Amino acid sequence: MDRTGSTTLTTAALALLALCLPSPLRSAPPETVREDLEVERLAEGVWLHTSYEVIEGFGRTPANGLVVVSDGEAAFVDTPWTDDQTRVLAAWVQKRLGARLTTVVPTHSHRDCMGGLETAHDLGARSYSSGRTAEIAKRNGLPVPQESFDSERDIPLGSRVLEARYVGPGHTVDTIVVWLPDVRILFGGDLVRSAAGRSLGYTREADLDGWPASVEALQREYGEATLIVPGHGRPGGGELLTHTLELLANRPR
């Protein structure tokens, strides 16, 4: 806008301009890989994968993850729910994107994040998680991520880097986030609720008292994010963090 005031855009004109600008949320519609697995392009070399599983008490439940590609290598930030879905997704990545799965970053120990970890290992991928996730997986007899860290780890992928961070407890005590600095996309996972979320979801293993401080840390550290991807539901912007804090503040005591 002209700061001299010689040109004034009305609110309506600004709204029309915004509709014309490219947005990662208005890219091509999701592509169905099969009935329980979809992919959607978010940015250059970054795809949202959404897998579905029927969960008792919740019904058919979608779970999000990312596919990140660079120089013929691919990373999954969270696997789909199952080994079979993970195998199908890896095959789609190889065929559609010309990349081989080399890296997996499960953001916590639940099945919607690492249910396909064994298959990922079989396909030759290296896995990275927080030490807390590795401990929980070992204790529960689950496939254990191969490399772990305390608070942060920069994970190379071709010419890109995935910045994995533990900012504090929330949905679980081991939940981490992953930042893609080159495209300013934050995978907030289950620390973040979607705009359509009307509850905190499954909280049996949550640290409800510590969760708000973790979300506030995301606001401080990733305020420049162009896109935030929650563990379930549609991606959005900083309003997802504000919404999550409101749900926490208004939860039943």
**Domain-by-domain residue ranges, the chain?**
28-249
Give the pLDDT of residue 154: 98
Instruction: Please give the Cα distance from 39 to 41 (Å, whole number).
Output: 7
Please, which pLDDT band fits residue 56 given cuts at 50, 70 and 90?
A: confident
Q: Answer whether residue 10 shows pLDDT above 50.
A: no
pLDDT in tens, 159-171: 999 999 999 999 9
Which tokens is 148 given? 């772990």
What is the pLDDT averaged over residues 22-26?
A: 43
Q: Answer whether residue 236 shows pLDDT above 80.
A: yes
List alpha helices for 73-199, DSSP H: 83-92, 111-114, 117-122, 131-139
Give the pLDDT of residue 5: 40
Q: Answer whether residue 16 shows pLDDT above 90.
A: no
CATH fold of 28-249 reads: Metallo-beta-lactamase; Chain A (3.60.15)
What is the pLDDT averaged over residues 60-71?
A: 97
Instruction: Please give the Cα distance from 118 to 137 (Å, whole number).
Output: 12
More confident residue, 58 or 209: 209
Give the pLDDT of residue 27: 54
What is the pLDDT averaged over residues 4-26?
A: 36
Q: Answer whether residue 25 shows pLDDT above 70.
A: no
Give the pLDDT of residue 214: 98
pLDDT above 70 coverage of the chain, percent: 89
What is the pLDDT averaged over residues 161-189?
A: 98
Report the first-to-last Cα separation within the chain, whole angstroms. Answer: 47
Give the pLDDT of residue 60: 93
Q: Answer whether residue 4 shows pLDDT above 60.
A: no
Mean pLDDT of the chain: 90
Give the pLDDT of residue 57: 82
Please, which pLDDT band fits residue 1 given cuts at 50, 70 and 90?
A: very low
Instruction: Please give the Cα distance from 168 to 145 (Å, whole number).
Output: 20
82 phi, psi to nearest 5 deg = -125, 165
pLDDT above 90 coverage of the chain, percent: 86
In the three-class reduction of DSSP (H, G, I as helix; E, B as strand; rest coil), residue 119 is classed as helix
pLDDT in tens, 109-168: 999 999 999 999 999 999 999 999 999 999 999 999 999 999 999 999 999 999 999 999
Q: Answer whether residue 89 shows pLDDT above 50.
A: yes
